[in-house]
Each structure stands twice: as structure tokens, then as C-alpha cells.
């Protein structure tokens, strides 16, 4: 194969450009992945529309939620043909931070669509380390996987970031059965955070301003879904407190997952702090918010940022997805790669009702 089709960001603010990229010689630690699916994330929209800088300067192929098959390898030839999910953050495994067990903040990490070309393409060249094999997957991208009829390798693209980021955030928070979890923003990451929190036995409340998401919230395990607009902070906290009592959950030690990536969502999440609360900051926005930081001291609370997910967590996440304990099928919509620009616009304007996954339908 002489080359592959890709849609690259020539410069922020310009439409993505369809190009034919040559396939270069692979380094010993690299693989060539034939893309089955690549999810469209708000981070991608931030790079293209909002001026968020990529670490590799354009022209750059965006897309960091990738599933596919290893088509070639610079090293381990026995891996060719393997179906994989590509972690959104690939640590170097050799630096002091990696050796200290903090791979997601490795300063030599490679994030597809940020540090290197990503998955808005038919193929992508990536470091071969830490790719997560998909058990039971064959060569066909549309074959059903696990115990979920209709679940395919294409749908598993969302495991690369939306599911895995939510999973690590819940795991790091220390949430357990009987606790109260509050998810702010029920988009891709937030919807999965709600599912994972409910799977752990927590009572889950959620905030969102999209009526479609509020209506669908129960399917994610949410028992209280609120639109916070026009609701004073005290009233909002009172509603959540009443819900906690009704569920036998504690009125202290709440775990709040800010997944909206908006200033309003972050402000609302911070306003829900109670004694002993944990605030997980998962969503991203360039907007600044004004908060009284001393509330963390007064409530003996904590705020924790979460970047991506450690690759070693992916096999257990994938097991839960294939067993149907985390539902990715109903929350994704497959689109042809050629429609990437329209998909990006939908994500930018928050019109997409489900996580959009681009599926290559074209060849050079």
C-alpha cells in the first residue's frame, strides 16, 4: 500500500483537508494500525475551533479514540492482525514518572491527534507499546463481540478515551457502594461516569442542560436528573441532599464528577462541595471560573484533576464492556470518515446526541 487517506487540520479554524499520506518506514517500536473506528471528542473540537494548541504543530491528523487492527509492525511480527484499542495516552514507560507509577503525566507521552498524527484516517502509525488487545475479535470490523449483540470493534473506539477516562476518574475518587455520586454533564465522558458509578453501587445524581440527556439519564443508572439552570445554588444542594437521604446515602463525603467542560458546569460542581467531598475535575474548558478556594479548607474537601487513563486499566475496562456492564453500543453513532467535518461541527455545537465514531469507508 503506497499511502492512506486522512483528514488533516491544516490550521486551526480551517476545514479539515482530505489528503493522501505516504506510509513511511516503521521504527522498531512502531505499528501501523488499520483504523476500524475513531471517536470524535470535544478535545478535537477544541483543537480545530477554539484555539487549543496541539503539542505537534499542524498540519496534523486529529483523533485520539482509536480502535483497529495491527496491519504492520516494525518489531513484533506476531502481533500483525491483532485487534486493538489504542489508549489515548501512551506513556514512555522509562522516565521517572512512569517508574513511579504515574504514567498519565509522563512528559514523553504520545497522545494521537496531539503529539502525533491521530485516527481521522484509514491508517495511523503509533508506538506499539500498551495497545490493548480485544479478545475474541477477528479480522472483520463488523463482527459482534462479547455478550452484547451488535457490539463491534468500531464501537470500541470510545473505550480509548470517553469510557476509560471516566473509569479512571471513578477509580481514583475512591467511590464505593452506598456513596453518593454527582455527575455534572452527561455527555460522552459524563454518561459513562454515571454508568460506572452506578455499577459500583453508588446512588447517582446528575446535572445537565440538554433535555435529551436528562430523559436518557435513567439508562445510565442516574436516579436524580436535574437541569440546574435558574436554580440557585442553595436550592440545588438542597435537592441533592434530599435525594441522598431518600437513598440512604451520606450527607457528607459526596463525590462530584465535573465532566461538562464548561464554566457553568465547573461552577455548579464546586458549589456542591460538602464536608469531606471529593471533586474530580474531568472536563476541560479554556474559560476561567471564579470560586472561593477556601471552601476546600472549610469543608476539608479535595479537588483532583484527571488526565486520561493508565493503559494497565484498559483490559479490565474492556472486560466490563464486552460483558455488557458498561454499555457503549447505545451511546455511539457510527458515521463515515468522509463526514468528519460535519461531525466536528455537531460536537462543537453540542448537537450530537451520542458519541460519534468515524468509520473509514474509503481507500487510496
CA distance 175 to 94: 31
pLDDT at 16 over 70: yes
> Sheet containing 222-226: which strands, arranged edge to edge?
222-226, 203-207, 180-184, 255-258, 278-281, 302-305
Query: Torsion over CA of 270, 276, 282 and 283, rounded to 10 degrees?
Result: -10
Task: Identify the three-state secondary structure at position 247.
Answer: helix
Domain 163-305: homologous superfamily in CATH = NAD(P)-binding Rossmann-like Domain (3.40.50.720)
Of the candidates 269, 223, 272, 227, which has an alpha carbon nearest to the alpha carbon of residue 247? 223
Q: What is the pTM of this model?
A: 0.95
pLDDT band at 353 (very low <50, low <70, confident <90, very high): confident
Query: Torsion over CA of 285, 326, 218 and 209, rounded to 10 degrees?
Result: 10
pLDDT given at position 1: 63
Q: Quick count: other Cβ atoms within 10 Å of Cβ 227?
A: 13
pLDDT at 362 over 60: no
pLDDT at 201 over 70: yes
Q: Where are the domains of the chain?
A: 3-161+310-359, 163-305
Asked whether the beta carbons of 85 and 167 are under 8 A apart, the reply is no
* pLDDT mean over 28-55: 95
pLDDT at 75 over 50: yes
Q: Classify residue 313 by its DSSP letter.
A: G
* Predicted confidence (pLDDT) per residue in 147-189, tens digit: 999 999 999 999 999 999 999 999 999 999 999 999 999 999 9
* pLDDT mean over 303-321: 97
* Predicted confidence (pLDDT) per residue in 238-286, tens digit: 999 999 999 999 999 999 999 999 999 999 999 999 999 999 999 999 8
* Predicted confidence (pLDDT) per residue in 96-140, tens digit: 999 999 999 999 999 999 999 999 999 999 999 999 999 988 888
Distances from the Cα of 9 to the Cα of 57, 188, 349, 350, angstroms:
10, 23, 19, 20
DSSP assignment of 44-60, as one string?
A: HHHHHHS-PPPSSPSSE
**Considering the chain, what is the average pLDDT of its residues?**
95
- 3-161+310-359 CATH pick, 3.30.300.160, 3.40.1280.10, 3.90.180.10, 3.50.50.60: 3.90.180.10
Cell of 31: 505499528
* Predicted confidence (pLDDT) per residue in 207-223, tens digit: 999 999 999 999 999 99
pLDDT band at 364 (very low <50, low <70, confident <90, very high): very low
pLDDT given at position 363: 42
Residues 6+ apart with CB under 8 A from 242: none
Among 92-101, 251-260, 336-345, 346-355, the least confident range: 346-355
Asked whether the bond before 59 is cis by omega within 30 degrees of 0, the reply is: yes
Question: Using alpha carbons only, how large is the chain's radius of gyration in Å?
Answer: 20
Would strands 132-133 and 83-86 be described as parallel, antiparallel, or unpaired? antiparallel
pLDDT given at position 320: 97
Of the candidates 299, 248, 257, 259, which has an alpha carbon nearest to the alpha carbon of residue 277? 299
CA distance 263 to 290: 9
pLDDT at 58 over 60: yes
- Specify the DSSP element, H or E, that contains 109: none
Q: Quick count: other Cβ atoms within 10 Å of Cβ 350?
A: 15
Specify which residues 123 forms β-bridges with. 34
Cell of 336: 463515515
Distances from the Cα of 60 to the Cα of 24, 27, 340, angstroms:
16, 20, 14
* pLDDT mean over 2-28: 95
Amino acid at each position: 500500500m503506497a499511502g492512506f487517506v486522512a483528514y488533516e487540520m491544516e490550521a486551526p479554524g480551517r476545514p479539515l483537508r482530505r489528503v493522501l499520506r505516504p506510509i513511511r518506514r516503521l521504527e522498531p517500536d512502531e505499528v501501523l494500525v488499520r483504523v476500524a473506528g475513531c471517536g470524535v471528542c470535544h478535545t478535537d473540537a477544541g483543537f480545530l475551533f477554539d484555539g487549543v494548541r496541539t503539542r505537534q504543530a499542524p498540519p496534523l491528523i486529529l483523533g485520539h479514540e482509536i480502535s483497529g487492527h495491527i496491519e504492520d509492525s516494525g518489531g513484533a511480527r506476531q502481533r500483525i492482525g491483532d485487534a486493538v484499542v489504542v489508549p489515548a495516552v501512551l506513556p514512555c514507560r522509562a522516565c521517572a514518572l512512569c517508574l513511579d507509577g504515574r504514567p498519565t503525566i509522563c512528559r514523553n507521552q504520545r497522545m494521537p491527534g496531539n503529539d502525533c498524527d491521530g485516527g481521522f484516517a484509514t491508517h495511523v502509525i503509533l508506538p506499539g507499546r500498551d495497545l490493548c488487545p480485544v479478545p475474541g475479535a477477528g479480522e472483520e470490523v463488523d463482527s459482534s463481540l462479547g455478550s452484547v449483540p451488535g457490539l463491534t470493534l468500531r464501537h470500541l473506539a470510545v473505550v480509548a478515551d470517553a469510557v476509560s477516562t471516566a473509569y479512571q476518574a471513578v477509580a481514583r475518587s475512591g467511590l464505593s457502594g452506598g456513596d453518593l455520586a454527582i455527575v455534572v454533564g452527561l455527555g460522552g465522558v459524563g454518561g459513562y461516569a454515571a454508568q460506572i458509578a452506578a455499577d459500583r453501587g453508588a446512588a447517582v445524581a446528575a446535572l445537565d442542560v440538554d433535555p435529551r440527556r436528562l430523559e436518557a439519564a435513567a439508562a445510565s443508572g442516574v436516579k436524580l436528573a436535574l437541569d440546574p439552570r435558574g436554580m440557585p445554588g442553595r436550592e440545588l444542594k438542597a435537592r441533592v441532599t434530599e435525594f441522598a437521604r431518600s437513598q440512604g446515602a451520606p450527607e457528607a463525603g459526596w463525590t462530584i464528577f465535573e465532566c461538562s467542560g464548561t464554566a457553568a458546569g465547573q461552577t455548579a460542581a464546586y458549589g456542591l462541595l460538602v464536608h469531606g467531598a471529593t471533586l474530580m475535575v474531568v472536563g476541560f474548558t479554556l474559560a476561567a471560573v471564579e470560586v472561593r478556594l477556601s471552601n476546600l479548607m472549610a469543608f476539608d474537601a479535595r479537588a483532583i484533576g484527571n488526565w486520561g487513563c493508565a493503559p494497565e486499566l484498559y483490559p479490565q475496562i474492556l472486560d466490563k464492556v464486552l460483558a455488557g456492564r458498561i454499555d457503549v453500543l447505545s451511546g455511539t453513532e457510527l458515521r463515515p470518515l468522509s463526514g468528519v467535518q460535519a461531525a466536528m461541527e455537531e460536537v462543537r455545537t453540542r448537537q450530537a446526541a451520542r458519541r460519534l465514531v468515524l468509520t473509514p469507508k474509503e481507500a487510496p
